[in-house]
Chain A
């Protein structure tokens, strides 16, 4: 079983991102389970979403405590939330960031960065001050992790994203090409 934790802020689309990734993995024959941090989400507040997938039915119905990978939609969260808590050594950390973090906080893990904010602004996804970065970040994660096929992510976007479909798909493709492994 593989477990992924998404860190974002209410309004960035972390929950939808985890649903799109789940639908892509499901299309590839995996059993999937995805859920938001249980609670009442508010715009701008730190949020988490969780994804489990496996080759057999998933019976665990507790929170994810030791994820294999994490995806961080807002780089500022690395200063306020212990994002690597429980992360398995060697797991991927994908940061939405333009800069390589100069911290040894991530030394035990594999690190990649993508300017998902820049891509979202370019395609006018969300407001300029509150861009929706979820489809871009998924493109980047698909490339580095190799866990799902890009075509299935795009199918998921078609199912889950209600507006600006072409722009969202293009954001995903751009991020797929632009992601940097550190």
Chain B
């Protein structure tokens, strides 16, 4: 059934169709509508889940981890400062190998106090062991939420589904809501072999001496290395049942492209329009959408980007003292390849400043005109 809904409600419907069994969350703008609708679903019986109210995001994640260890499907959602407050427990969720699924609405970190979008909140959690998937439309948000549970449960790793504040969270557009029976076929009941069980008491998270800790870390990394194949197979299976696929990256009009633009989140969607315009003008430009941030899809990135003469990366984030985070990933992926194209890193749209087609056009045009980047990062739209 097609319905006009916000990105936030696309998350809620995804968690409901996945038959989430435990939800624990704390409201924060711009995430609030996600958990409002889920709490209504729980109250009306549309979703048979336990909704655990808590006093903070730290407790929300703690509740999700404990619930997940009992072998139930578990979900939460947050944003910015809420995500930051969870930081300790994000490590715990991955370290304890709990397949918790969380939606994070990308919101800039304060101060200055902001409710608008950028990616620094989620990218700051890069090293916690979570899989991160970025979305560009409300349909992709819904589909990724459903896929996230399957990915998480196959790998026993937590998965973060990420969408831009307001540009998706509060924007309504049509979304095809799949039939429950087909989602059930795609996503069978979650089973956990070893779980917390009152009749067979056990302890989790105890002191781990140097004889064992190292191997736990090794196994988390191995799970991330398997994730690329798992995400691909989950996506293929989803496509067979629902007729929609996303991939870990998507190459759009890249085959003969001299310049390839790399984007994530909703900037991708606007950039598609710009790429089409420039192609009509005879400019050989392509677009690479990076949907999967962690684990890094190194081989897939190399395969597409290596053919280009120049790469322009749009970063709606900044790793202070270094550069945009996606540009670091792209450079790292290309390292060691003889003749690898130069990478231009453009910082734009922090704190929700609008990113227009004109701004994207200018970024691509500048990349065509410049042989190699004159500066390590190129700021766009700064008013001093």
Contacts and interface: CB of A to CB of B under 8 A. Distances in A.
Interface string B264-300: 0011011011000000000000000000000000000
Contacts of B171: 33-35, 61
Contacts of A26: 2, 4, 174
Interface string A21-57: 0110010000111111011100000000000000000
B273 A60 contact: yes
Interface string B239-273: 00000000000000000000000000011011011
How many B residues touch the partner, as a band? 20 to 34
Contacts of A38: 116, 165-167, 170, 352
Interface stretch (B71-79, B94-102, B354-362): B354-362
A19 B29 CA distance: 20
Interface in B322-363: 352, 354-357
B245 to A, nearest CB: 16
Interface residues of A, number: 20
A19 B165 CA distance: 18
A22 B269 contact: no
B172 interface: yes
B363 to A, nearest CB: 14
A22 B172 contact: yes
A31 B166 contact: no
B115 interface: yes
Most buried by B among A19, A34, A65: A34
Contact of A33 (B172, B267, B273): B172
B36 interface: no
B236 interface: no
Contacts of A32: 4, 172-174
Interface centre among B167, B168, B173 (most CB of A within 10 A): B173
B270 A31 contact: no
B357 A60 contact: yes
A97 to B, nearest CB: 28
A58 interface: yes
**Which of A33, A39, A61 is the most central at the interface, judged by chain B CB atoms within 10 Å of its CB?**
A61
Contacts of B269: 59-61
Given A31-B174, A34-B171, A35-B170, A61 B270 contact: yes
Nearest to A61: B266
Contact of B272 (A35, A40, A59, A63): A59
A62 interface: yes
A123 B16 CA distance: 38
B172 A34 contact: yes
A59 B170 CA distance: 16
Contacts of A61: 136, 167-168, 171, 266-267, 269-270
Nearest to B164: A61
Given A35-B172, A39-B115, A60 B4 contact: no
Nearest to B352: A38
A58 B266 CA distance: 12
A40 B32 CA distance: 13
A40 B29 contact: yes
A31 B273 CA distance: 16
Interface string A1-23: 00000000000000000010011
Contacts of A22: 4, 172
Interface in A131-164: none
Contact of B170 (A36, A62, A65): A36
B289 to A, nearest CB: 12
Contacts of A19: 4, 172
A32 B352 CA distance: 22
A38 B169 CA distance: 10
Given A22-B4, A60-B273, A63-B354, A40 B115 contact: yes
A38 B115 CA distance: 9
Max chain A C-beta neighbours (<10 A), residue from B4, B167, B269, B357? B4
A62 B355 contact: yes
A1 to B, nearest CB: 10
15 contacts: A26-B174, A32-B172, A33-B172, A34-B171, A35-B170, A35-B172, A38-B167, A39-B116, A59-B269, A59-B270, A59-B272, A61-B136, A61-B168, A61-B171, A61-B266
Query: What 6 pairs across the A-B complex have the smallest Cβ distances?
Result: A38-B166, A35-B171, A61-B266, A62-B356, A33-B173, A59-B269
Given A31-B173, A61-B168, 4 more contacts: A59-B269, A60-B273, A61-B266, A63-B354
